A and B are shown apart, each in its own frame.
Chain A
Amino acid sequence: MTVRPSASHNLMIRKLESIVSLSDEEKQALRGLPIQVTSLKTDSDIVRVGDRPSHSFLLVAGFTCVYKLTAEGKRQIVAFHVPGDMPDLHSLHLKVMDTSMATVTPCTIGFIQHEALIQICDRYPRISAAFWRETLVDASIFREWMTGIGRREAYNRMAHLLCEFQVRLSAVGLAEDDTFDLPITQTELADAIGASNVHVNRILQELRANGLIRTSGTQVNVPDWQKLKEAGDFDPLYLHLRQD
């Protein structure tokens, strides 16, 4: 199904506008991008290491992760993505995938052909810059996670990750009153922060006991944003959100 213009386009524009400003003409051009929308179940691979995709995808709904497997079969999740993100935008220029990407919840995905992305980038240099910036922010997130995995305690890493979700989901209107939906399993959180799932379970209990989070089902509420930020050693600078 090709949808245009649609909620998917508006979400992509909202996300890009959280990091750059776009003119009406540029937004109109983005609304003309053909997007093939599809639904995927939880734990579906979207792209795998070694793939040579001819399209990139826009995450329309749900959560996805970027992961690598070790020779032993252990998984390291190196990033999560939230609606509005274009997780494999870099495959436009790096032809062979060096990581895999999978859904961690049921997802709606919009595929955009590389050819269409190249055309819009050729015509609109500022859209090209916006896409470039999007991939640069992804790289910044990897650097921040690497610092955490190497040097922060697991408790602080988890607090940091929750802060990151809050800020990224807020940027696309998916967090309200310091509450957001986080339908991610403890095993996935463990694979992301590089701890065992037993440790992650204890950390979540500790965060709750310390009053840093309240949880109800998959809903996470942050009663004291400042305290969670301090626990996570969190400075949102690395997300490079627009200040104006």
Chain B
Amino acid sequence: MTLTFQSVRVATEYDEEGMLVFNGNRRLVAVLTRLSEQNEIAPGQWFLEAGFGRLGGISHPTFANLETAQVWINQRLVHQN
């Protein structure tokens, strides 16, 4: 599935730089935020801030870059859970 990304500012009060992720039908499936370079947990990585539908579970992984985020999101969208 072809995902599209759209930059957005997210009011997390911590890491604002974000990305809306849409599926092939232009439906919002996830909101990613980029953790700051000072973050103690995963500096500079992308964090699944919120997911919808099949991404709406309790998993909130971090990704080294948007490509790995895209692979993970696609896998989740294709396979149930």
A residues contacting B by CB (< 8 A) are 186, 194-199, 201-202, 205
A31 to chain B, nearest CB (A): 45
Asked, given contacts A198-B35, A198-B47, A202-B14, whether A186 binds B58 with beta carbons under 8 Å apart, the answer is no
B11 to chain A, nearest CB (A): 13
A198, B41: Cα distance in complex, Å: 6
Among A195, A198, A199, A205: residue with most chain B CB under 10 A = A198
Chain B: CB-nearest residue to A186: B41
Is B39 engaged at the interface, CB distance under 8 Å to the other chain?
yes
Chain A residues with CB under 8 Å of B58's CB are 194
Q: State the majority secondary structure of interface residues on B.
A: loop
B residues contacting A by CB (< 8 A) are 12-14, 35, 39-42, 47, 58, 60, 62
Chain A residues with CB under 8 Å of B35's CB are 198
A195, B13: Cα distance in complex, Å: 17
Chain A residues with CB under 8 Å of B14's CB are 202, 205
Chain A: CB-nearest residue to B39: A201
A199, B14: Cα distance in complex, Å: 10
Further pairs besides A195-B60, A198-B62, A201-B41: 12, Cβ < 8 Å: A186-B41, A194-B58, A196-B47, A196-B60, A197-B41, A198-B39, A198-B41, A198-B42, A198-B47, A199-B60, A201-B39, A202-B14
